[in-house]
Amino acid sequence: MLTSSVASRALLVALVPMALLACSDDSSDPGQANGSGFKKYDPCTLVSQAEAEAALGITLKVTRHDTDAVNATGQKICYYQDAASSDMKFVQISINEQASMTGSLTAEQLYGSMKSGLTSPTAVAGVGDDAYYGGSGLKLGAGVTTLIKAKGMVINLMVGLGTGNADDNAHMTMEKDLALKAIARL
């Protein structure tokens, strides 16, 4: 019979990071590097608050800044949201770093699982080793997600352009631009 910890870890491999926040595993050593030697990163340094503000053209505030992985997939999130209103204007940088993953999970395996969970991701050229756009909005798989094999990293950039704004081209363009800034800092 599987223990709840083992069952949770099996589920983590199959789900995208947005669904993983509720499945945090505090029993693992956050310093474990899977024997990979990959570096750990702070997501708020990959896209700065000033860059996020320039992209959206508004003043933002940091409402989430993970400096340690929050689950077994090595996930950390930086979330900038509109400082003046609740109009769903935000920039979220979510990273999954192999240096913080537990067990034998790799960034490539996680990325493949995330991508295969979408029905029709749009390829995004020129970003990392492979990248896709999963649509706009607050849904699993949304935003631009990219794999950077040499760094053992999966990066997801998601922007909110305001309530009701479903302009996929505008979302994808901004997310791609911010993803390229993040990758340049690895």
For residues 39-51, average pLDDT: 98
Which ranges in the chain belong to alpha helices (H)? 4-14, 17-20, 43-46, 49-56, 107-116, 168-184
Q: What confidence score (pLDDT) does residue 14 get?
A: 34
Cα 71 to Cα 32: distance, rounded to the nearest angstrom: 12
Total domains, the chain: 1
For residues 138-145, average pLDDT: 92
* Residue-averaged pLDDT of the chain: 85
Cα 88 to Cα 28: distance, rounded to the nearest angstrom: 34
For residues 74-89, average pLDDT: 96
Q: Closest Cα to residue 74, out of 143, 128, 152?
A: 152
Does a structural domain hold residue 147? yes
Q: What confidence score (pLDDT) does residue 31 get?
A: 37
Q: What confidence score (pLDDT) does residue 15 get?
A: 39
Q: What confidence score (pLDDT) does residue 145 get?
A: 99
Region label for 129, one of left (φ > 0), alpha (ψ between -120 and 50) or beta (otherwise): alpha
Does a structural domain hold residue 23? no
Does a structural domain hold residue 92? yes
Classified as helix, coil or strand, 159 is strand
Q: pLDDT digit string (tens) for 15-41? A: 334 333 333 333 333 333 445 689 999
Cα 111 to Cα 96: distance, rounded to the nearest angstrom: 9
Does a structural domain hold residue 51? yes
For residues 66-71, average pLDDT: 97
Cα 81 to Cα 58: distance, rounded to the nearest angstrom: 10
Does a structural domain hold residue 24? no
Does a structural domain hold residue 59? yes
Q: What confidence score (pLDDT) does residue 35 get?
A: 52
Does a structural domain hold residue 25? no
Confidence of residue 137 (pLDDT cuts 50, 70, 90): confident
Cα 179 to Cα 174: distance, rounded to the nearest angstrom: 9
Q: Structural domain of residue 63, as residue ranges?
A: 4-17+30-184
Contacts (Cβ under 8 Å, ≥6 apart) of 104 = 34
Q: Which residues pair with 77 in a beta bridge?
A: 94
For residues 102-127, average pLDDT: 96
What is the residue type of 138?
L
Q: What confidence score (pLDDT) does residue 25 get?
A: 39
Does a structural domain hold residue 22? no
For the chain, percent of residues with pLDDT exceeding 70: 81
Classified as helix, coil or strand, 100 is helix
